[in-house]
Structure 1
Amino acid sequence: MLSTKSLFREIVDNDESFRLLCSIAAGGEAQGGWENARIAALVPPAEQALAPKIARHGTDEDKHGRIFQALLKKRHLEPVEVPAETDYTMLLERRGIGLSHERLRADRPLTVQDIVTYLAHSRVTEQRACEQMELLRRHFADHPDLGRAVRMISQDEDNHLAYCHEELLRLARAGHERAIRRTLHECARAEIQVHRDVSLAVMRHMGRILGWSRAKGAVLAAGIHAAYAYELLLGRRRMVVLRMPERRDALGEPTATPVA
């Protein structure tokens, strides 16, 4: 029977598919680490209190990248080059979502509107990250190799999402609500399309590695398209609603967590 758990186990149990999965994840996390570090360095004077939180966000992303690298090393595997069509971060940038790398490489302070753009983009993408890590935690929390990594990353993603909610609500109260709402909706529409495209690309690569039949590939592709249609029509709301999180100041106190 084809299930999410059996699909993930098939990918994790094969060295080549696991190698690709971890390489894609590590590349995305490393990119997020660089972006957050640059944003923290360019925070405008009016938002300097945010700089340590953004820096911690970047440190967490770097840590996640190292975790995926460590998982590869544990199985004596080397990372592979990430196929361009699976590069979620860069595909979002090409859609004009978030702050461009060109802007982040410029040594001039960001504006408050740039911070709104960054936080709205993060709120949407962290929603996706939280959901994906929750799915992995559900199926692999007790896995001898993946369990600790999945639990650690999932907790961090929950903190990142809580931070985005809290800071966007603060900025909304400061008079930026209309810009926040507009940016959230723009980001959500683009993200669900990019997520669909990346999911299809990843499944094609996994199917080639694992020798999936054409019928199995068609079923998985149909599922991805169905999820996209649902998100486009109904599921998008979860990405744009703002709620004060139960955990306040989630990135306010950095903690050092060793990477195995």
Structure 2
Amino acid sequence: MLSARSLFQEILDNDDSFQLFCSIAASGEAQGGWENGRIAALVPDSQRALAPKIARHGADEDKHGRIFNALLRKRALEPVEVPRETDYTMLLEARGIGLAHDKLRRDEPLTERDIVIYLAHSRVTEERASAQMRLLRKHFGSHPDIGRAVKMISHDEDNHLAYCHEELLRLAAAGHGRLIQATLRESALTEIAVYRDVSLAVMAQMGRILAWPRAKAAMLAAGIHAVYAFERAAGWRRMVSLRMPERLDALGGPASTAPEFA
């Protein structure tokens, strides 16, 4: 019977599929680290208090990239090129989610509106990241090879999501509520479509590597389409709600290091 645990165990047990999985994850985290680092450097004066938190977010993402690369090294594997159709962060940017890279490469301060949009986009993508890592933590938190990495990254992703909620609520109270809600809705509907496309592409790559039977590949693809249908109908709403998190000031300190991995 197919399950999230059995599927990921199969990917974990094969060097080639594990190599691709970690390479995709490391690439996305590295891009997120660069983006947050640039945003922290360009924060407008009106939101300077956010700069250390955004920098911390970027440092966490960089750390996650190092962790995935370290997991590869532990198995004497090298990162491989990420197929374009599996590059979640790049495809999101191409669809207008996140601040454009050409803007981030300029040494011009961002606007307060840019920061609001950045946080709204992050709230959506961090919802996905947090949910995915909670699933991995549930099934593999005690795994001897990847358990410690999974728990560390999951904790960070929960912090990132809490930070987005708290800061967006603060900005909503300051008069940005309409922009926040409009951006959240647009971002959520775009993200679920990109996530569907990337999931199909990743499963196609894994099916090729692991020589899945056609029936198994078709069942997985049908499951991905079913998740998309649910999220398109109603599930996206969980990505646009805002609530004050239990964990306040989640990014208020320095980023933790990962010497045991990196």
TM category, shorter: over 0.9
Partner in structure 2 of residue 201 of structure 1: 201
Separation (CA, whole Å) in 2 of partners of 1:35 and 1:2: 36
Say whether the 8 Å CA contact 2:17–2:210 is kept in structure 1.
yes
Separation (CA, whole Å) in 2 of partners of 1:213 and 1:258: 39
Say whether the 8 Å CA contact 2:5–2:139 is kept in structure 1.
yes
Q: 2:198 is aligned with what amino acid?
A: V
Count of matched residue pairs: 260
Q: 1:97 is aligned with what amino acid?
A: I
Separation (CA, whole Å) in 1 of partners of 2:254 and 2:128: 23
Partner in structure 2 of residue 5 of structure 1: 5
Separation (CA, whole Å) in 2 of partners of 1:256 and 1:203: 33
Partner in structure 2 of residue 54 of structure 1: 54
Q: 1:39 is aligned with what amino acid?
A: I
Q: 2:155 is aligned with what amino acid?
A: Q
Partner in structure 2 of residue 192 of structure 1: 192
Partner in structure 2 of residue 115 of structure 1: 115
Displacement of 1:141 after TM fit?
A: 0.4
Partner in structure 2 of residue 71 of structure 1: 71
Q: Which runs of 5+ in 2 are unaligned?
A: none
Q: 2:3 is aligned with what amino acid?
A: S
Displacement of 1:221 after TM fit?
A: 0.1
**Which range is displaced more, 146-155 or 89-98?**
89-98
Say whether the 8 Å CA contact 2:60–2:255 is kept in structure 1.
no
Separation (CA, whole Å) in 2 of partners of 1:9 and 1:258: 24
Separation (CA, whole Å) in 2 of partners of 1:115 and 1:184: 13
Separation (CA, whole Å) in 2 of partners of 1:228 and 1:258: 35
Partner in structure 2 of residue 155 of structure 1: 155
Displacement of 1:255 after TM fit?
A: 4.2
Partner in structure 2 of residue 98 of structure 1: 98
Displacement of 1:55 after TM fit?
A: 0.1
Separation (CA, whole Å) in 2 of partners of 1:135 and 1:2: 15
Separation (CA, whole Å) in 2 of partners of 1:96 and 1:85: 16
Displacement of 1:94 after TM fit?
A: 0.6
Of all paired residues, the percent bearing the same amino acid is 74
Ranges of 4+ aligned residues in structure 1 off by more than 4 Å: none
Separation (CA, whole Å) in 2 of partners of 1:8 and 1:128: 17
Displacement of 1:106 after TM fit?
A: 1.0
Q: 1:81 is aligned with what amino acid?
A: E
Please report the RMSD computed on the Cα atoms of aligned residues, expressed in angstroms: 0.6
Displacement of 1:256 after TM fit?
A: 3.0
TM-score using structure 2 length = 0.98
